[in-house]
Structure 1
Amino acid sequence: MAGPAAAAGWGTSLRFWRALVVLWGCCSDSVCRGGPGVNVYLSVEETRRLIGLDAELYYVRNDVVSYYALPFKLLVPGETNSLHFTWHAKSKVEYKLGFQVDNPAVMDMPQANISAQGEIPRKESEPEPEEKSPIYPGKNSSKDGRTAFDAVHTAPTTSTRVFYISVGVCCAVIFLVAIILAVLHLHSMKRVELSDSMSESGSSQGLSQPSTQTTQYLRADTPNNATPVTRSDLKELPGCNPEEERQNGVTQASKKSGYPTLRIEKNDLKSVTLAEAKARVKDIAISRERVTFKDVLQEGTFGRIFHGVLVDEKDPNKEKNVFIKTVKDHASEVQVVMMLTESCKLRGLHHRNLLPINHVCIEDGERPIVLLPYLNWGNLKLFLRQCKLAEANNPQAISQQDLVHMAIQIACGMSYLARREVIHKDLATRNCVIDDSLQVKITDNALSRDLFPMDYHCLGDNENRPVRWMALESLVNNEFSSASDVWAFGVTLWELMTLGQTPYVDIDPFEMAAYLKDGYRIAQPINCPDELFAVMACCWALDRDERPKFQQLVQCLTEFHAALGAYV
């Protein structure tokens, strides 16, 4: 009869592999008819060694084949090198022995310690000692009836050898490539550091972005080298006309240097009296009778913004729409002074992307009102949030190219303020307005603390400040400059790309300074291009001298806007 065949498990130094032992039992016609009394099984000692059970596992018992045991898959531990089967017959029975391995690449062909054919032993004997188990084919073990299969000590097959060689070669190639990339990276970093040390105003690297990512988008002359922008460059930028600067009285010193010198301001609004505040705007005061209130656009605890109508002084038949900022009757004198003083922040400035105060009404006995030109889509932050709420079916839906165009307009307006050495100190989408042609204008921050209370926080100094939009030096030392406005512009750009979300919403306002000092920044918005986020990161450099100038931001965003248009 054909004898049993099995596949043994094998292991490595890293992990244990387990193989399935499958025993095929076949019997001759004489066995199937009964008579010789053939038994093939695993002894109690062997079963205990393999699976820890005190039992015999029979495959053939008294000529009866166990069809339950044959398909049973026995898991062999990886450290096992041999299997011992016990067999014997009552009378003379011939056998033939063969092996089958399903996957030779995983396991070598087993070897037996008995001949490939012969006579089944007629007497059961004790198991052979373990140290004698590596016995090769050709030796007859009919004396003890034991068969040991060894699958470890033999040489691996050709396919297995090729597999291990291939894996080793691949690992070596990967390791070599990693070393080469590391060397190239270190070399490039040294080149970047060298070029930065030679530049006049340093790099514009943001702490939350690698320097390689920012320099990939920003041109070599802007803002990494901070080369002053020429008049010819200004002619090509929308809303940044040198002729307009000349007519509006930009100083020759500002034109020559290209950028204003650093100027630090302190908040001194509390020292201004109501009489002084009214005196500052007396020359633009008009009669209240020319103003008609219409709809309420925004309302806070003590302030309101209306849509109103202003009658022309010379021709009563001519009217124009205006924004009306005012306070409620219960507003304190400090709140009235802050509204009037902050409304004058952009007074006397003329730029297509600025919305300065036009007129005021300050009659005695009446609450003061401030008039500004009207843009029909109103506050930019509210507009962005409306677009986000109904993005799919909103007729006012805006594209990424539109958002970049808005950012360019804000940067142009801020560039004009920087050249005039005016510091805004509260740049954000809540302090911008927009019309139906997507023209954006920067406004003052009068009443913003009341209309957007969640954007302002008091850090124990009895002053509400836009903590999440402020640069580190502004938070810690109350220092403001054009560089701190650039920081706020980076956050404003983030607002645009998120359609009005609140930055650093999970950060405690009292922890913002430590958070920024440790190098943490807002995460990149979803669907925001890497190049655009790199611009934001430039604005958030810890060292204010490393932040780009507004004119450089205009150039970068204009080029990016043109690139977006090429794909539309």
Structure 2
Amino acid sequence: MASTPGRGVLPILWRALVLLWSCGGLCRGGPGVNVYLSVEEMRRLIGLEAELYYVRNDVVSHCALPFKLLVPGETNSLHFTWHTKSKVEYKLGFQVDNLVAMDMPRANISAQGEVPRTISVFRVDLLCTGNLDSEVTMEVQLNLTINSSKNITVLNFKRRKICYKKPEQEEKNLIYPGKNSSKDGRTAFDAVHTVPTTSTRVFYISVGVCCAVIFLVAIILAVLHLHSMKRVELDDSMSESGSSQGLSQPSTQTTQYLRADTPNNATPVTSYPTLRIEKNDLKSVTLAEAKARVKDIAISRERVTFKDVLQEGTFGRIFHGILVDEKDPSKEKYVFAKTVKDHASEVQVTMMLTESCKLRGLHHRNLLPISHVCIEDGERPMVLLPYLNWGNLKLFLRQCKLAEANNPQAISQQDLVHMAIQIACGMSYLARREVIHKDLATRNCVIDDSLQVKIADNALSRDLFPMDYHCLGDNENRPVRWMALESLVNNEFSSASDVWAFGVTLWELMTLGQTPYVDIDPFEMAAYLKDGYRIAQPINCPDELFAVMACCWALDRDERPKFQQLVQCLTEFHAALGAYV
């Protein structure tokens, strides 16, 4: 969707909202109310295998309620699971911020009544009008009253529904048969009888397009035939003069790619260099060369003991391991151990070793370079890094999104800004050392229980987070949704392109690990960014913080802030947030 106008809510407002969830509402020892999204509903909405509790045994989740889940355009209903042990009355209402794009939602239960005593599901239908493309913010308000007293708890479930404009307005009555008539008085019966007309029109248009394509192909074949005849005549004349130039020039051919929305007679790939990114130079490094680069930090595999598997992909794994000190075997320390499976190719092994060296030799409190490697003959290579006990930052953020109120991993907005400051400090150090990361994202950061964040390399990231990487027709997976426009179009990387990626990383922090530009086709990202569109402002993100993100996404790289400026700006904003505590 196109970028939306700036919107933000200061943390003090959310803290005021938390007061509504105090023991003035549901309390422990109460009627045993549960309201949640089932595993099936979570899988359908965001693809996670987990339940999301809004109320568990009378305790309201302070972390789950504030976030507005995105409802895709093809999803037209929401399902809430609820039950209680004793009598609890409810009232149900709805609010929509754009009634032109979406009608008021409808539920399959009455507007008021009693919460069921057995596990039940109620459905809310989201009725897009089809009048325009829009992202609609809607709210389901559920008021719970215990024993008909004045003890009322208000639960607000907010969603962002994607609505699309339909080609024919009368199709609305076919999709939602509950509407017996439209605003102009036409009935559903009338709408049904317009379908043959539309189908006939589509048929004739299709036939016309097919004829045009056939005619165009015939012209192209005729031109190619004439051109080939001229080439034969030219070759004959050149052969008579003893020259071979006419044979060498026509043999140079390159594969041309066209954008999906480009007509057949459009300019070829030279006008869309997004699809012509140079081959990754890592593939030119041999395995022997990669091992030679890390030979000085190689250790014996016998010093490493594997514990748990933290992450696993198609050909890679990350273990929680223990490294024994070489001089004193009684001393041990925890490490991350990156390795590959037996079926991994030599190219994959080489890229793991080479990419692991990206931060080698750099020393900063917010960087996590490799410490040792194991490259013994006959064994799969292994890379060791210092251990941070809360692990991958992206996975940690997603856990926080589903955390309950009493979960120690529940974090505040001030904590998230503090994480962003640490990432900016680490990147500022890299910029001063003229080191370009090229793949900054929360998936390539780690965090400990004191919320200390460290930037790591991107070794195995393509395998462990395959949904974050896309191939643009050249057999090379790249983090398209995190890349600056000049990186997409011209394969140009700099500290300024890292600043762009930092803006997306900041957006990830504020959304607790959501995927950016999730509705945009990766092949269309360059055109989307060039037209001025950007990812929308996250829910519960202050305007000041979103302004920082927007500065990072300036098309002109010279207009983007430096990392040192970002550190200063975020530090001042962090201090301002502290004034509300």
TM superposition score category, shorter chain reference: 0.5 to 0.7
Once the two structures are overlaid, the 10-residue window that deviates more, 274-283 or 198-207, is 198-207
Structure 1, residues 269-292: CA drift from partner, whole Å, max 9, x if none?
110000000000000000111000
Amino-acid identity (%)? 92
Greater strand fraction, Structure 1 or Structure 2? 2
Cα distance in structure 1, aligned partners of 2:192 and 2:13 = 13
Pair 1:555 & 2:568 matched: yes
Q: Counterpart in 2 of 1:68?
A: 63
Instruction: Say if 1:560 and 1:496 are closer, same or farther in 2 by CA, change over 3 A.
Output: same
Q: Distance in 2 between matches of 1:54 and 1:364?
A: 40
For 2:6, the equivalent position in structure 1 comes to: 9
Asked whether the equivalents of residues 315 and 340 of structure 2 are also in contact (C-alpha less than 8 Å), the reply is yes
User: What secondary structure, in the 3-state scheme, does the structure 1 residue paired with 2:67 have?
Assistant: coil
* 8 Å Cα contact 1:207-1:540 kept in structure 2: no
Structure 2: how far apart are the matches of 1:38 and 1:371?
A: 47
CA contact (8 A) 1:21 1:75 kept: no
**How far is the alpha carbon of 1:390 from its aligned partner?**
1.8
Check whether the contact 2:442–2:505 (CA below 8 A) recurs between aligned residues. Answer: yes
Indicate how the Cα distance of structure 1 residues 116 and 179 shifts in structure 2: closer, same or farther if over 3 A, else same.
Answer: farther
Displacement of 1:392: 3.0
Comparing 479-488 with 205-214, greater Cα deviation is found at 205-214
1:342–1:444 Cα contact (<8 Å) kept: yes
Change (3 A) 1:545 1:97: closer
Q: CA deviation at 1:368?
A: 0.2
Specify whether residues 291 and 392 from structure 1 end up closer, same or farther in structure 2 by C-alpha distance, changes over 3 A only: same
Distance (whole Å) between structure 1 residues aligned to residue 417 and residue 564 of structure 2: 15
State the match for 2:486 in structure 1: 473
The question of whether the paired residues in 1 share the 8 Å contact of 2:67 and 2:539 is answered with no
C-alpha spacing 1:187/1:76, structure 2 compared with 1 (3 Å): same
Residue 182 and residue 146 in structure 1: after superposition, are their counterparts in 2 closer, same or farther (change >3 A)? closer
Structure 1 segments, 4+ long, off by >2 Å, are: 5-24, 30-123, 125-228, 257-267, 391-394
Distance (whole Å) between structure 2 residues aligned to residue 194 and residue 350 of structure 1: 65
Instruction: Say whether the 8 Å CA contact 1:37–1:63 is kept in structure 2.
Output: yes
Q: 1:210 to 1:65 in 2, by over 3 A?
A: same
Contact 2:371-2:386 within 8 A present in 1 as well: yes
- Residue by residue over 1:220-270, the C-alpha shift from the partner in whole angstroms, topping out at 9 and shown as x without a partner, is 999999999xxxxxxxxxxxxxxxxxxxxxxxxxxxx99999999973011
SS of the counterpart of 1:104? coil
Match of 1:492 among 505, 510, 531: 505
Count, aligned residues: 532
Q: How does 1:2-81 map to 2 (within 5 A)?
A: none
Alpha carbons 2:234, 2:246 under 8 Å: kept: no
Per-residue CA distance 1:449-481 (angstroms, 9 max, x = gap):
000000000000110000000000000111100
Match 1:134 to one of 162, 174, 189: 174
Equivalent-residue separation in structure 2 for 1:503 and 1:191 (angstroms): 51
- Measured at CA, do residues 213 and 306 of structure 1 come closer, stay the same or move farther in structure 2, by a change above 3 Å? same
TM-superposition CA deviations, 1:2-48 (whole Å, max 9, x none): xxx99999999999999999999xx99x9999999999999999999
Seen in structure 2, the aligned counterparts of structure 1 residues 260 and 345 have a Cα distance that, compared at 3 Å, is farther
Q: Equivalent residue for 1:240?
A: none
RMSD of aligned residue pairs (Cα, Å): 28.3
- Provide the C-alpha distance between the structure 2 equivalents of 1:314 and 1:64, rounded to a whole number of angstroms: 52
SS at match of 1:221: coil
Distance 1:309 1:197, change over 3 A: farther
- Aligned mates of 1:377, 1:453 — CA distance in 2: 21
CA contact (8 A) 1:39 1:88 kept: yes
Deviation sequence 1:423-465 (CA, Å, 0-9, x none)? 0000000000000000000000000000000000000011000
Aligned-partner SS, 1:54 = coil
Shift in Å, 1:566: 1.2
Runs of 5+ consecutive residues of structure 2 not aligned to the other structure: 117-159
Residues 317-349 of structure 1: CA deviation (Å, up to 9, x unaligned): 000000000000000000000000000000000
User: Which deviates more, 517-526 or 179-188?
Assistant: 179-188
Whole-angstrom CA distance in 2 between matches of 1:304 and 1:117? 52
Contact in 2 for aligned 1:325/1:370 (Cα 8 Å) = yes
Residue pair 2:321, 2:337 contacting (<8 A) in 1 also: yes
Say which is worse superposed, 132-141 or 279-288, in terms of deviation.
132-141
Report which stretch shifted further, 353-362 or 89-98.
89-98
Compare CA radii of gyration and give the structure with the larger one: 1
Distance 1:54 1:328 in 2: 26
1:395 is displaced (CA, Å) by 1.8
CA contact (8 A) 1:353 1:442 kept: yes
Is the 1:327–1:367 contact (alpha carbons within 8 Å) kept by the matching residues of 2? yes
1:150-178 deviation per Cα after TM superposition (whole angstroms, max 9, x unaligned): 99999999999999999999999999999
Per mean C-alpha deviation after superposition, the further-off stretch among 366-375 and 92-101 is: 92-101
2:230 maps to which residue?
Answer: 190
Offset of residue 567 of structure 1: 1.3
- Is residue 262–residue 481 contact of structure 1 (8 Å, CA) maintained in 2? no
Assess, with a 3 A threshold, how the Cα gap between structure 1 residues 473 and 97 changes in structure 2: closer, same or farther. closer
Does the aligned pair in 1 maintain the 2:418–2:574 contact within 8 Å? yes
Q: Supply the distance in 2 between the matched residues of 1:338 and 1:97 (Cα, whole angstroms).
A: 55
- Is residue 47–residue 54 contact of structure 1 (8 Å, CA) maintained in 2? yes
Structure 1, unaligned runs of 5 or more: 229-256
Is the 1:409–1:440 contact (alpha carbons within 8 Å) kept by the matching residues of 2?
yes
Q: Measured at CA, do residues 158 and 278 of structure 1 come closer, stay the same or move farther in structure 2, by a change above 3 Å? A: closer
For residues 341 and 6 of structure 1, the distance between their equivalents in structure 2, rounded to whole angstroms, comes to: 38
- After superposition, the C-alpha distances for 1:525-564 in whole angstroms (9 at most, x for unaligned) are 0010000000000000000011000000000000000000
Choose which of 203, 228, 232 in structure 1 pairs with 2:243. Answer: 203
Q: Give the deviation of 1:80 after TM superposition.
A: 52
Q: Distance in 1 between matches of 2:3 and 2:277?
A: 86
Q: Which moved more, 1:127-136 or 1:98-107?
A: 127-136
